[in-house]
Structure 1
Amino acid sequence: MKKLTYLAVFEPSADGYGVYFPDLPGCISFGENFETALKNAEDALGLHLYGMEKDHEEIPTPSLTPVLDEDTEKGALISPVTVFPDLVKNELDNKRVKTNVTLPVWLKELAEQNSVNYSRLLENALTEYLHVNTR
């Protein structure tokens, strides 16, 4: 399984730690303590890479030494952060989301009388209609 490790900069502040990834502009996070900041940095990294992939952007090769922003706070810590992009993608792509549908009243009443599971029925119908193999 593919894993990616990027160096993150953890900047201490009165509120906790701000986090940024020099190789990934716009990928930032925060935590009230280092442990929380590290966990949030992992989540931010996974989501950022997922978004880049969805947008068909090139994923940059991780640097071996970070180039710090000029305004990086003194006492900043540099730590590797690792994610498994395939796990993140699988989790996000299979996340359940709500969607509204419109039905005639008589059909809705009949479905409820027969204990129809709308979510399961719609998912099965869509996968069949779109010829999606879920196995």
Structure 2
Amino acid sequence: MDRYPALIDGEAGAYGVTFPDIDGIVAMGATLDQAMLNAEEALRDYAIEAEKDQVAVEGPSAPEDVEVPEGCTLVSVPLIRLSGRSVRANMMLDEDVLAFIDQEARRRSMTRTSYVAWMTRRIAQMGG
């Protein structure tokens, strides 16, 4: 999985994300979390459209090669391609961890599976 450098700027209620490697791909969000999730989706949409148009998706620059303007923060956004095919993954979890997952999934009106997938994407965005 490739991780693309991105620049975040703005303030609470209006954050913007741009990709130095890809002109014209931007994302917005009222919170940093929303902006990052929207940036991941924008990057994925770009890759899908580029592949449909048979245009090569360039690999990401190294983060240390990116110029960071004043007021911006450098982050990396993973290009997570979704195949659309679900696969079974049997896991053993501590019962308290599973209870936490179930509680958070209910609180967010999500299924256990969608919550775990969502959290995995968030951790990937943070460089995990």
Asked whether the two chains share a fold, i.e. TM above 0.5, the reply is yes
Q: Return 5+ residue gaps in structure 1 as ranges.
A: 92-135
SS at structure 1 position matched to 2:75: strand
TM-score, scaled relative to structure 2: 0.58
Q: Give 5+ residue unaligned stretches, structure 2.
A: 85-128
Look up the SS of the partner of 2:37 in the other structure: helix
Residue 76 of structure 1: aligned partner? 72
Q: Which has the larger radius of gyration?
A: 1
Pick the aligned partner of 2:54 from 53, 56, 71. Answer: 56
Aligned to 2:42: 44
CA RMSD of aligned residues (A): 1.7
Q: Distance in 2 between matches of 1:78 and 1:56?
A: 29
Of 2, 5, 8 in structure 1, the residue corresponding to residue 3 of structure 2 is 5
Deviation by residue 1:61-119 (Cα, 9 ceiling, x = unmatched): 21012245xxx5x321110100222x2xx34xxxxxxxxxxxxxxxxxxxxxxxxxxxx
**TM-score of the superposed pair, with normalisation by structure 1:** 0.55
Q: CA deviation at 1:28?
A: 0.6
Aligned length: 82
Aligned to 1:108: none
The aligned residue for residue 108 of structure 2 is none
Instruction: Work out the CA distance in 2 between the residues paired with 1:16 and 1:84.
Output: 24
Identity %: 30
Aligned partners of 2:2 and 2:59 also within 8 Å: no
2:66 counterpart letter in structure 1: P
Return the alpha-carbon distance in structure 1 between the equivalents of residues 58 and 20 of structure 2: 11
Shift of 1:14: 6.3
